[in-house]
Structure 1
Amino acid sequence: MSTCTAEAFGALHHGRAPGDPLVLPGPWDAASARVFEEAGFPALATPSAGVAAALGHADGSVPPREMFDAIGRVARAVSVPVSADVEDGYGLPARKLVGRLLDAGVVGCNLEDSWGRKDAPAGTLKDPREQADYLAAVREVAGRELFVNARVDTYLRGAADFDETVARARLYVEAGADCVYVIKAPVEVLPALRAAIGAPLNVLCPPGGPSPQELGRLGATRVTFGPGLHHRAMEALSDIAKELA
């Protein structure tokens, strides 16, 4: 099980050269986590969609208890630090959310600023100040025990306004976020985003897109894959199954 602290995990995000981002594969279970650790990656970041698929759920439909149990199994399976995608926090108050994350053994989390719960208007952006207040509450409870990655969903939700994206990101950093994840931002805006936000930038590496190193040269501090690696693994398994059949 990982014994790394959130501060040590956070240190991996700083002092990186252009073209050398922190690459964080996304395990969906304990077995895949061990594969990535054995390959030499210094840390991992669970994707909510990949974990959901492994548990037999649609993305956004995993009962919170199942999600925390799953990320706990990942964290216990490896010695490297693990950050967890916990979507919009599942409606949990900050104290309960932080407690469950720490109990699971992770050192970081993603929190997105669009609604994901079944009882909320799915696919809509949250009020940025309300989200900033939530992030501030998480920071206050967690202290430095969690590295908080604030996801900005403007490009994902069709509200791709650069100024609003930057304004949201800055609010979240002021509230205590350690890193900002502007999911699905076009690669051509990454240099401007990094310069305008002035904080570590998480970038999604899409299938067939620029390499992690190229994304690093464009401004990515860290690179994650969402459910992409799970999809590739399932495609490979499908090919094996077809051969066997």
Structure 2
Amino acid sequence: MTDYVLQTEDVAIHYGGVKALDGVALTLERGQIRGLIGPNGAGKSTVIDAITGRRRLTRGKVTLGGQDVSALGVVERRQRGLSRSFQRTSVFGQMRVRQQVELASHQMGADDPGADADDVLQELSLDRMADTLAVDLGYGEQRRLDLALALVGRPSVLLLDEPMAGLSVQESLDLAQHLKALTTRRKVSVLLVEHDMDVVFGISDQVTVFELGRVIAQGSPAQVRADPRVREAYLGSAA
């Protein structure tokens, strides 16, 4: 039996008669990237909120490293290795790059925040900009800094909500390659919500498709591309 680093079982979030999520089951293996796709309002960001503890579950369970974390708050889940980034960057413009990564590492309780920060910055090719104010970075570099803040403390699972939003084609490709490398070098598992289909199908090991709060298909990128329902409802008949 596979030991999943992350698993959701029958996860549902209802608001009265509105079913934002309805019986979502996902798994994530160590070092795996799972892409989440679907039209706006399908429930992709909501499932990330449910996994991180930002939304209370109507029913279901979230398991991290074999342990049920459904009753834990956001901070407790982060301390147990569950990290995320948001659609908008959360960097501090007037702080230097290394300063804020080291501060985030200190808040995570790292034994050596300085070494942790240096390691993350080098991993994301930000080490040459360590003394630069975040406001002076290009937008693509700010997105990588946002990712660096999520990586301190060596989380086992990284949840990314549209990390490519606002990036140029080349910046998206660069960030995608960094993500792929992270799963190999750091053994971090990634749940990726993204509208850039080239990125999702290019780097994901598995893809899950949402529609109206439910999973309508999942499998390898090739399997999902070939699924008639997905082609009709989301990718288009010529996809």
Normalising by structure 2, report the TM-score: 0.38
Q: Kindly indicate whether structure 1 or structure 2 has the higher relative contact order, using CA contacts under 8 Å at least 6 residues apart.
A: 2
Q: Which has the higher strand share?
A: 2
Q: Which has the higher helix share?
A: 1
